[in-house]
């Protein structure tokens, strides 16, 4: 199974998502999107394929979101995409692409919905939250 993750190694959610992918038996293509930002067409494809709006794909925390007044409802999708192009940190993460779909994996366990093998065994996030218990039951 081909899996691609748009990853930020400084983000706990992204690290947890990457670890769940690996625990499923897949070594994904890892794109550190702050080092190698996706082009505009790729960003649009990720957003559309994930069933999101451009606004829903924006990250507000620890970004120039407020400084750029991106919360202004009059900002167009083109303006928001321009901002993402100039400041890739504005693209929320992690986006994961598999043959089963594309998701913005927030929370990280959303990735299980698009993995060929979601039965990854017990999994606990870095912060101690149990996602899958010792019996293999997904905690919702």
CB 115 within 8 A of CB 24: yes
- Percent helix, strand and coil across the chain, each to the nearest 5: 30, 15, 50
Return the sign of the alpha-carbon dihedral for residues 125, 100, 55, 30: positive
Number of residues assigned to the chain: 140
Positions marked catalytic: 11
What CA–CA distance (Å, rounded) separates 87 from 34?
A: 9
């Amino acid at each position: 199974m081909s899996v691609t993750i748009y990853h930020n190694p400084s983000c706990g959610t992204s690290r947890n998502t990457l670890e769940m992918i690996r625990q499923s038996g897949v070594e994904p293509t890892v794109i550190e999107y702050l080092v190698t930002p996706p082009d505009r067409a790729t960003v649009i494809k990720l957003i559309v394929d994930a069933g999101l709006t451009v606004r829903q794909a924006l990250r507000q925390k620890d970004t120039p979101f407020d400084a750029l007044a991106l919360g202004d409802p009059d900002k167009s999708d083109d303006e928001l995409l321009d901002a993402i192009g100039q400041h890739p940190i504005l693209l929320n993460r992690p986006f994961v692409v598999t043959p089963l779909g594309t998701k913005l994996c927030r929370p990280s366990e959303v990735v299980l919905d698009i993995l060929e093998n979601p039965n990854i065994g017990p999994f606990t996030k870095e912060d101690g939250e149990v996602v899958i218990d010792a019996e293999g039951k997904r905690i919702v």
